[in-house]
Structure 1
Amino acid sequence: MITNGLLMIAVVCGLAAILLVLDKTAGWKFFRYVPAVVLMYLLCAALNSAGLFGTEDATREPLKNLKDFALPAMIFLLLLGCDLRRILSLGPKLLLTYAVTSLSLLVGIVVAFLAFRAALDPEAWKALAALLGSWTGGSANMAAVQDILQAPENIFGYALITDTIVYSLWLMIVFSSVMFSDRFNRFTRADTSYLNAHMGAAEHDDRPITVPAVIGLILGSLLIAWGAITVGEAMPEVGEVMNSTAWTILLVSVLGLIAAQTPLGRIPGSQQIATVLLFVVIGQIASGSDFSALTEAPVYLVAGVTVLVVHAVIMLIYAKLTRTELFSVAVASVANVGGIASAPVVAGAFNRQLVPVGVLFALIGSLMGTWIGLLGGQIMSGL
């Protein structure tokens, strides 16, 4: 059993390093079906369930303190790539489609919560809010919502498993829909001409990551995280969700957006460092999970399917009423539910020249996912 806090940090960081290297270099098909970040959760939870991690506060406190700094630093670094000027260039029709997509997922999560409330844990709304954060943003937003609402680690595990399994099924459905694009567009009587203005080659960042850039990003993001934590702790609590952690995330989000509009947003390496920090955050959360409590997982899986059924119905009605083509609906859906990893791929399946739309949709999710998740949590906590 590990009873040294620093050794526990070393084990979690070591697992993160191994999985990140394997994910990027091994080329295993396994990671297509079980994302490395999910595997990170499962491995750390398995180690805790096996009794490897000590239960004393002195053992767990150092890793928790590291996570408290890693989370806001990660959010800041992720938003360094969020260029608001490029997002606004999408135009009103695409932005409206994205907004309705996020709203439909919010409605879906509330419907699922009410439908399965009797079978769920009293604090299940926190896990569902974290799931909503992921399905309107990504894993980083999911971790942020979990930390703000303090969703129990075991219940958060249900949300993470649901996220992985249901999302994978949804991605297959969306990919399969490409062949029905013409039929769908005839059904909605969509005019696709406005998409011509958004066609262009996908942008690739080929700038080399340098040692000074890495050091500057790490130290700078940690300094900003410390400042935001200090200010956040001095702010008043508002409702169920606006606590000191929420204020901290809000502050680093604003600072990240401001920095993204400056030359700082073009420093290479921010997304890669943020990914490393995400693995540390997920590892800390998983280190408090116990697989013996996974008996409720099927209920969450059914709830997750319910969310996407409601989402699909709303989007179908929206597309018919507004004469929207399948491309916008499908890419907006996957950008919400899947994030940056899948939105450009789905966009490319429709038209390779429209890949930038998928990228920009995913960036919107990185910005908004946490706050949509918290909004859903606030609604569910009051029901």
Structure 2
Amino acid sequence: MIQNGFSFIAFLILFAGIVVWLENKYEDQGIFKYVPALVIIYFVAMLMSTFNVWEMTESVSGARSAVKSAILPAMIFLMLLRADLRDIFKLGPRLLGTFAASSISIIIGFIISFMIFKDFLAENAALTFGALAGSWSGGTQNMVAVQQALGLKEAGMGYTLLIDSIDYSTWIMFLLALVPIAHKFNEWTNADTSKVDELNEKLNVKNDEIRDVIKFPDMMILLGIGFGLSALAMFAADFLPQNAVLTNTTWTILLVTIAGVIGAMTPLGKIPGSPEISNVLLYTLIALIAANANFAELTQAPIYIISGFVILAIHGIILTTIAKIFKLDLFTCGIASLANIGGVASAPVLAAAYSQSLVPVAILMALLGVILGSGIGISLATILQMI
């Protein structure tokens, strides 16, 4: 049994590293073909916690809290360094409008689903849905940010990841299955795809200008600025007004989000390595969150999974209706949906299923979700608490 704080942190990072390495080596085989490493890390760490592989001594608990608090804002800042608003605005009103419609339809889905199932869900369901909304508006990093900002306990996070894994996996398979019939959908909506093709050519030229090789100075400056801004944001948050929603953690997240958006429009945004380093922090953070969870607390899993499918069904119906009214193509609708629900990790996969050249469009739309996701999740949780 692990009782030392440093040993606890070292073990979790080693465990997360092994899972990521195995996923990279066997990504098309076994469990990794169906379940992402992030989910495996969470639930295996949760399993180890359930069987007391470590004891939450003062040393372990203190190390977990300190490391978790430190790497969260740094992760968000580094993740946002590729979210250049100037490029995102180039997507144009049609693509941005579809993304907004997708986000709104997801929010509506959350509210309706919560109203239907709230009597069957746990007391903290509003916070669980808020964390899930963070993920389904931006990505896993937003889900973690919302969870920390709202103070959602680990059991609630387990439900969030369960829905995010099962329902999201089903949704992405559904969207990929629609690709071969895109032309029929486009005929049904009378869509015109010329604008998307033109934008994609311009974005490809810019992306080719970013250096591919990550060098030692790149990693040092990114880590230094990331953690330096984390400390500064935590310090500044102490002087800002706080309440049940706007806590110290919430202010810290909002401050680093603003810093990341601004940093993306400076030379910092062109330094290679920020996505990779932020992923290291994200996977470590997921393991740390799961380390205090327990499977015995997951007693209402089926109803949460069903509620997630209701959210997706409402989202799909609304988005399809909008596509018909505004003559949108299936690529635009699918990417807008997955940029929200799947984020940066999976929106490019769907784009590549249409054409490899369309990947930059998907990435930009997903990055917009990264910027907005935390705010959407926190706001939705606040709304649901009032229902």
Instruction: Give the TM-score range, shorter chain.
Output: over 0.9
CA apart distance, 1:351: 3.1
The equivalent position to 1:221 in structure 2, one of 220, 226, 229, is: 226
Secondary structure of the residue aligned to 2:55 is: coil
Which residue in the other structure is 2:20 paired with? Answer: 20
Distance (Å, rounded) in 2 between the aligned partners of 1:39 and 1:177: 28
TM-score, normalising length: structure 2 = 0.95
Q: Is the 8 A contact 2:47 2:295 kept in 1?
A: yes
Distance 1:336 1:235, change over 3 A: same
Distance (Å, rounded) in 2 between the aligned partners of 1:323 and 1:263: 38
Distance (Å, rounded) in 2 between the aligned partners of 1:323 and 1:112: 28
Correspondence 1:291 to 2:295: yes
Distance (Å, rounded) in 2 between the aligned partners of 1:333 and 1:354: 15
Which residue in the other structure is 1:360 paired with? Answer: 364
Give the aligned residue type for 1:213: D
Give the aligned residue type for 2:274: S
Which residue in the other structure is 1:2 paired with? Answer: 2
Q: What percent identity do the matched residue pairs reach? A: 38
Moved more, 144-153 or 14-23: 14-23
Correspondence 1:375 to 2:364: no
Distance 1:104 1:22, change over 3 A: same
Distance (Å, rounded) in 1 between the aligned partners of 2:215 and 2:141: 24
CA apart distance, 1:98: 0.3
Distance (Å, rounded) in 2 between the aligned partners of 1:237 and 1:91: 37
Give the aligned residue type for 1:192: T
Which residue in the other structure is 1:97 paired with? Answer: 98
CA-based RMSD? 1.5
Distance (Å, rounded) in 2 between the aligned partners of 1:260 and 1:73: 14
Q: Is the 8 A contact 2:27 2:33 kept in 1?
A: no
The equivalent position to 1:267 in structure 2, one of 255, 268, 271, is: 271
Q: Is the 8 A contact 1:82 1:257 kept in 2?
A: yes
Q: Is the 8 A contact 1:241 1:377 kept in 2?
A: no
CA apart distance, 1:132: 0.7
Give the aligned residue type for 2:320: L
Correspondence 1:70 to 2:71: yes
Specify every segment of 5 or more residues in structure 1 that has no aligned partner in the other structure, as ranges: none
The equivalent position to 1:336 in structure 2, one of 332, 337, 340, is: 340
CA apart distance, 1:28: 4.6
TM-score, normalising length: structure 1 = 0.96
Which residue in the other structure is 2:56 paired with? Answer: 55
Correspondence 1:256 to 2:260: yes
Which residue in the other structure is 1:35 paired with? Answer: 36
Aligned residues: 382
Give the aligned residue type for 2:15: L
The equivalent position to 1:209 in structure 2, one of 214, 217, 233, is: 214
Distance (Å, rounded) in 2 between the aligned partners of 1:27 and 1:129: 30
Give CA-to-partner distance per residue, 1:309-364, whole Å, 9 cap, x none: 01001101111111111111011111111111221121222233322211111111
Correspondence 1:302 to 2:303: no
Moved more, 143-152 or 228-237: 228-237
Give CA-to-partner distance per residue, 1:231-272, whole Å, 9 cap, x none: 11221124x422111110111111111111111111111111
Distance (Å, rounded) in 2 between the aligned partners of 1:28 and 1:184: 30
Distance (Å, rounded) in 2 between the aligned partners of 1:279 and 1:182: 39
Distance (Å, rounded) in 2 between the aligned partners of 1:348 and 1:287: 36
Which residue in the other structure is 1:156 paired with? Answer: 157
Specify every segment of 5 or more residues in structure 2 that has no aligned partner in the other structure, as ranges: none
Distance (Å, rounded) in 1 between the aligned partners of 2:192 and 2:80: 33
Secondary structure of the residue aligned to 1:295 is: coil
Give the aligned residue type for 1:168: S
CA apart distance, 1:195: 2.2
Moved more, 164-173 or 190-199: 190-199
Distance (Å, rounded) in 1 between the aligned partners of 2:341 and 2:34: 15
Give the aligned residue type for 1:236: P
Distance (Å, rounded) in 2 between the aligned partners of 1:19 and 1:117: 35
Distance (Å, rounded) in 2 between the aligned partners of 1:118 and 1:170: 26
Give CA-to-partner distance per residue, 1:7-33, whole Å, 9 cap, x none: 111111111222232233444533231
Distance (Å, rounded) in 2 between the aligned partners of 1:25 and 1:272: 17
Distance (Å, rounded) in 2 between the aligned partners of 1:9 and 1:290: 18
Distance (Å, rounded) in 1 between the aligned partners of 2:91 and 2:386: 35
Q: Is the 8 A contact 1:16 1:276 kept in 2?
A: no
Secondary structure of the residue aligned to 1:199 is: helix
Give the aligned residue type for 1:233: D
